[in-house]
Chains A and B, each alone.
Chain A
Amino acid sequence: MSAPILELANVEAAYGPVQALRGVSLKVERGRIVAVLGANGAGKSTILKTISGIIEPRKGQIRFEGEEIGGRDPAWIVRRGIGHVPEGREVFPFLTVEENLRMGAYTRSDPEGVARDLEMVYGYFPVLKERARQEAGLLSGGQQQMLAISRALLSRPKLMLMDEPSLGLSPLLTREIFGIISRINREQGTTILLVEQNARMALAVAHYGYILEVGRIVMEDTCENLARKEDVQEFYLGVKAQGVRGQRRWKRKKQWR
């Protein structure tokens, strides 16, 4: 197996006095979809923000293609080949859809390549082409999510960070978006690091998963294996073990093994 495209080693990060990451280590293999699952406030988004250079790690190393990127300028990190689909879309509301996409290609200087990639994302999301001249703030939530994904794709990332792509979307739309994430990974060879609360969807799409609790990785495995673990089933997939009388009178403790 080749060297991982991204490697975090004992990364710690904090918001002022609040420690959000307490020594996170994870690896992302090239060409894979890797999911990080966790509850609210577990530190999932913080991992992505630290990789993108928005938050400086207090300790630890972040290596992208063997190069240390921890604490570098966000623009420099984008140029290295990391695209970020932020939580809650964060489109530019008063720019048109196409201008939003062109801002995604801000770091690039090959107009033909950008034009080709515009056609590519319009292929994935035809609705964006129909609404190319409209302001992004007028799009629906799902369309904004599509725009955010497309915008990140336009920087031609080797690694795409996706923060809760299912946030606020209907189950049907969530399935559609995840289908396309899978296709992008297959067809463009883009490695994806995905952070999700929707564990069922994430485990179905990703190859490998990490489970994050209160700033620590408590478990990692292939997604098939993760989906079979009792703790994951109980706490992330909502499958409850049944007692003999059809009710449950105990509270399960997390074992993480």
Chain B
Amino acid sequence: MTDLAQLLVAGISTGCVYALVALGFVLIYKATETVNFAQGDLMMLGAFFALTSSTVFGWPYWATIVFAAAVMAVVGMTVERIVIRPVLGHPAFTVVMITIGVGYVMRGIVTMVPGWGTETYQIPTPFAEAVWTAGGVVLPVQQLAVIAMTAALCAVLYVFFRFTRIGIAMQATSQNQLAAYYMGIPVRRVNMMIWGLSAAVAAFAGILLAPVTFVHSNMGFIGLKAFPAAVVGGFGSVPGAIVGGLIIGVVEALAGYYLPEGFKDVAAYVVVLLVLMLRPSGLFGETMRKKV
């Protein structure tokens, strides 16, 4: 029983990271109908910025989060403006290949930056090795903090999308771009801001992931696990991305403990297959036919 509780918490905390990366996939997909395969690498870059502000500038943990998110927002907007916007309207395949290319470039750049390189680093966190015991269940504070911070971020994003003018405009733009133009919403600028937002969320995910996998130039490959999370949730649904991430995290944790060696790594994909067989549009797939 205590095993199960600990596994669940561990799974949920990993799932949170998947969820945030998946959220980035979904936001960009809804806005520009592009799957951004550089999402994992944006996360990696964000983690490196956090690393620098923490170890070189010596800033406290919270300041590094704000700093990394802000820098990555600018990076995300720049990538959209310079690389993605000129190719929008070309076949989806072209755009996808370009995002993959952007990912490679980022990994390349990171290895060239002095102080980053190909080494593995650790970002100091205030939670370190502390544990929290309750009735025989031993829970690392680290994992609880990841869950709490993800929940807080989701709450902030919810309020943002639901109640602010620009947040609602982002929703409107991804639901019907043409109508958004007719309303006088600056569609291109809104799409750029969505890229910035997903990159900032990715940076946040990178910081949360740092204590688990450490910071190195290939940590972005976790994007390959977050992608199934987005699919499970029904690509194009924000709550779906979160739930999908949590499901994959938990399933992976349970598979790693109860099933033979090796199942952990394929668990995510097995979940995707099962979900797609039962619900082809994903758990939260939004389908609404146009009324005539």
Contacts and interface: CB of A to CB of B under 8 A. Distances in A.
A103 B181 CA distance: 11
Contacts of A94: 171, 175, 286, 288
Interface string A76-92: 01110001101011111
Contacts of B185: 75, 103, 106
A27 to B, nearest CB: 23
Interface string A99-120: 1101110110000000000000
B124 interface: no
A97 to B, nearest CB: 13
B259 interface: no
A103 B175 CA distance: 12
Interface residues of A, number: 37
B176 A91 contact: yes
A74 B292 contact: no
Contacts of A52: 181-182
Contact residues of B: prevailing secondary structure: helix
Nearest to A87: B178
Interface stretch (A137-145, A188-196, A201-209, A217-225): A137-145
A3 interface: no
A54 interface: yes
Nearest to A163: B182
Contacts of B184: 74-75, 77-79, 106-107, 155
A168 interface: yes
Given A74-B184, A78-B183, A103-B183, A93 B288 contact: yes
Interface in B253-292: 286, 288, 290-292
Interface in B154-209: 165, 168-169, 171-172, 175-176, 178-187
B286 A92 contact: no
B179 A91 contact: yes
A32 B288 CA distance: 38
Contact of B178 (A54, A104, A151, A168): A54
A168 B292 contact: yes
26 contacts: A52-B182, A54-B178, A73-B186, A75-B185, A83-B182, A86-B178, A86-B179, A88-B290, A90-B176, A90-B178, A90-B179, A91-B176, A92-B176, A92-B180, A93-B176, A93-B288, A95-B172, A95-B175, A103-B169, A103-B172, A104-B183, A106-B169, A107-B183, A137-B291, A144-B291, A167-B292
Interface of A: 52-54, 73-75, 77-79, 83-84, 86, 88-95, 99-100, 102-104, 106-107, 137, 139-141, 144, 151-152, 155, 167-168
